[in-house]
Amino acid sequence: MHSDDDTRVPAWRVAGEIPVPFSDALSAWAVAAREALIETARVYGSLITQAELGFQVQSQTGIKAGAPVRKWIADLLGAVTDGQDDDEPLLASLCVLLDQTAGDAYAHALGVAGRSVPADLDSDAAHVRFRCYEFFGATIPAGARPSLAPRVAEKRAARGPARPPTAAKSSAKAAKSAAPGTKPAATAEPKPKKAKAKPKADPKLEESKPKLCPNCFTVLSTSGECGFCY
């Protein structure tokens, strides 16, 4: 959040509690903030939280804000950005939230600098911070490259790569996506094949078989007597 007038965030000098217009307080804070951010940039890998920066500028200027830092930190980083030279990388990239993300205040600073807000704000801030370390004389290790803030990198690594759905999850997903009122088709398991039953003898065929003589196995006549053995 950033303020558009002097009444939204009251401020006063600690000595005597003299009220100070917010625009005047912001100008004084911006000078102190620039010094604190440059000091941060001179140590490779250093960051400063919004709360720390807000505390420092109030302590150094003797001007206290009558609202939490989160209410005016975007204005402060915007004022620092507005006062930077064109060849300087944005010092606002060094100021982060407690979880070390860049936050809306950095997005506001980008707008003040005339830049569009990127899809990955933290990655953009990482690249700009690296340029700050280079520009303001930090000792950079050989082979070092722009990197996300430690907590941001740790959080993203914990997510891990996307895993393909298991068969059980795929079945559940298919069940959810089925049309209302319909039952998802069950995945039928192959049934064991039954042994083929032996064909039963046709009784008509059995009755039509000719009778044989038990002695010579010759077909008997209709009278039942064997013509050879009689």
User: Does 5 map to a domain?
Assistant: no
**3-class secondary-structure state, position 130:** helix
User: What are the φ and ψ backbone dihedral angles of 61, each rounded to 5 degrees?
Assistant: -90, -20
pLDDT of residue 188: 54
- Supply the pLDDT for residue 162: 56
Tally of domains in the chain: 1
Q: Between residues 202 and 93, which one has the greater pLDDT?
A: 93
Question: What phi-psi label fits residue 16: left (phi over 0), alpha (psi between -120 and 50 degrees) or beta?
Answer: left
Give the pLDDT of residue 176.
55
| DSSP string for 14-76 | TGGGEEE-HHHHHHHHHHHHHHHHHHHHTSTT--EEHHHHHHHHHHHH-EEESS-GGGTHHHH
* 200 is a domain residue: no
127 assigned to some structural domain: yes
Confidence band, pLDDT 50/70/90 cuts, at residue 219:
low
For a pLDDT cut of 90, what percent of the chain falls above it? 61
pLDDT of residue 181: 55
Residue 189 in domain: no
Mean pLDDT (the chain) is 82
Cα separations in angstroms, 162 against 52, 106, 150: 36, 29, 22
Asked if residue 71 is part of any domain, the answer here is: yes
Task: Give the range of the structural domain holding residue 87, as residue numbers without chain letter.
Answer: 11-159
Say if 193 falls within a structural domain: no
Instruction: Examine residue 175 and state whether it is found in any structural domain, yes or no.
Output: no
Q: Averaged over 70-77, what is the pLDDT?
A: 97
Average pLDDT value for residue range 122-131: 98
Residue 119 has pLDDT above 80, yes or no: yes
Helix, coil or strand: residue 101:
coil
For 146-187, what is each residue's pLDDT tens digit?
999 999 999 999 987 756 555 555 555 555 555 555 555 555
22, pLDDT greater than 50: yes
Tell me what the mean pLDDT of segment 23-46 comes to: 98
Q: What pLDDT does residue 15 have? A: 76
Confirm whether 195 is domain-assigned: no
CB 26 within 8 Å of CB 12:
no
223 band by pLDDT with thresholds 50, 70 and 90: low
